[in-house]
Amino acid sequence: MSIPTEPIGSLPRPPALQEALVAHAEGRLSASELEKVQDQAVADTLAMLEKTGSPVLVDGDQAKPDTITYPLQGLTGLAPDGVVVPYADGHTRRLPRLTAGPFRYQVRADAHLRAARGHTDLPVKQAVVAPSALSLLYPAAGIDGYSREAFLRDLADQSEAEIRACLDAGAHRVQLDFTEGRLSLKLDPSGGVLDQFVELNNQVLERFGEKERDRLGVHTSPGADQDSTHSLDVDYAGLLPKLFQLKVGNFYLQLASEPDPGHVLRIAAQHLPAGTRLFIGVIDPLEPRVETAEEVRDRVLTAAEHVPVEQLGTCDDAGFAPYADDTSTSRDLAFAKIEARVRGTRLAAEALGL
C-alpha cells in the first residue's frame, strides 16, 4: 500500500479469554491453562486482522493485563496506592506505587512478540510502555535506600533492553505508548512535567542508531478507556512541538476524534521533523459506529493538504481496549473499523494518484 497503515495495539479480548481471566483470578484456572487461552486469542486476533487486509499485524495485547503495568507482573515491592488517572466520565485508573528497589521488568514485550510471530508470516508491530509512564511509579516521598536518580537509571536500562529485544525479535516497528504526554499538560499546564517526560524518553531513544530509530515510533492520544478519555480537553498546541523532539522515525497521532482536526494538522505540519512519518488517526475507537471507507479517504485527503504525502500514514486514534477488563467495544466492531481504515487508506492513495 502506497500510504502505510497500521493498528495502534490493543484489541478487545474474546469472551473466552475474559472468562479465563476471571477464573484465574479466582483460583479456578491455572497459569498454564490461562496461557493456552491467551495464545488462542492471539492466534485468532492475528487471523482476523489478516482478513481485514491489514498489511501490519499486532497481537492485540491479548496476554497483557494493560498497556502500562504489564512489565510489573510478579514484581514485589509494590503498593496499590499510586498515581490516579481520572477520566472524563468519572471513572479512574490507578497505578501501583514502588516501595523498594532495584527496579526490574518482570515481563518484556518481546515475549509477546515472539509468540505472535509464531502464528503469522506477516509483519508484526510491537507496542511497549514508554519509560515516562513507568516513572510515575516512584513516590514523591522517595524510597529509603533507593533514590529517584537510581530508579530512573534502572528504568532507562530496562526500557532500552525491552525495545532492543523487540527489534532483535524482528518487530516491524516498536511503538512507545505516550498517552501520559497530553495528560501531563492537564496535571501541570506549565509543561515542566512534559519536559521531564520528553527528556527521559530521549535518554533511552538516543541509545539507538539512526537505522534503528527508523523502526521506532511514539503514539500519543488523550487516552481511550471504557469509551472515555482523560485529556481530550487539552489543546495539542502545547504537546506537539515537544512531542516531535522525540528521537524516533514515526509518530502516531490521535486525530479522528479531535473537534478541530485542521487546527492539529496545521501545528503538526509546522513542527514535524523532516524524514519522519506521521500516522494520523482516521478511526475513533470510542465511536460506536463504523466509519465508512469514504470518510476515512476524506480524512486522509484533508491531512495531505497539510503533510507531505511521502510523510503520511494512517492509524486508529488509539488501542480499542488498553485494559483487559474493558468490554465497551466488541471485537466485531473493532475489526470492522480496522477494515474501513485499510479500505479508506487505499481509496485515498488512489485519489492522490499513488
Instruction: Give the pLDDT of residue 311.
Output: 97
DSSP notation for 219-237: EE-S--BTTB-SSTTS-GG
pLDDT per position as a tens digit, 164-175: 999 999 999 999
Residue 38 has pLDDT above 90, yes or no: yes
Q: How confident is the model at residue 298 (pLDDT cuts 50, 70, 90)?
A: very high
Instruction: Give the pLDDT of residue 169.
Output: 97
Sign, Cα dihedral of 312, 202, 158, 320: negative
Residue 105 has pLDDT above 80, yes or no: yes
pLDDT per position as a tens digit, 245-277: 999 999 999 999 999 999 999 999 999 999 999
In this structure, what C-alpha cell is assigned to residue 123? 509483519
Residue 74's alpha-carbon distances to 5, 35, 232, 327, in angstroms, are 35, 15, 33, 25
Q: How many CB atoms lie within 10 A of CB 94?
A: 11
Mean of the per-residue pLDDT values for the chain? 96
> What crossing angle do the helices spanning 180-187 and 192-205 adopt, rounded to 10°?
150
Percentage of the chain exceeding pLDDT 90:
98
The pTM score is 0.95
Domains of the chain: 5-351 (3.20.20.210)
pLDDT per position as a tens digit, 321-354: 999 999 999 999 999 999 999 999 999 999 999 9
Residue 10 has pLDDT above 90, yes or no: yes
Instruction: Give the pLDDT of residue 1.
Output: 60
Q: How confident is the model at residue 55 (pLDDT cuts 50, 70, 90)?
A: very high
Q: How confident is the model at residue 93 (pLDDT cuts 50, 70, 90)?
A: very high
CA angle 151, 152, 155 (to 5 degrees): 85
pLDDT per position as a tens digit, 144-194: 999 999 999 999 999 999 999 999 999 999 999 999 999 999 999 999 999
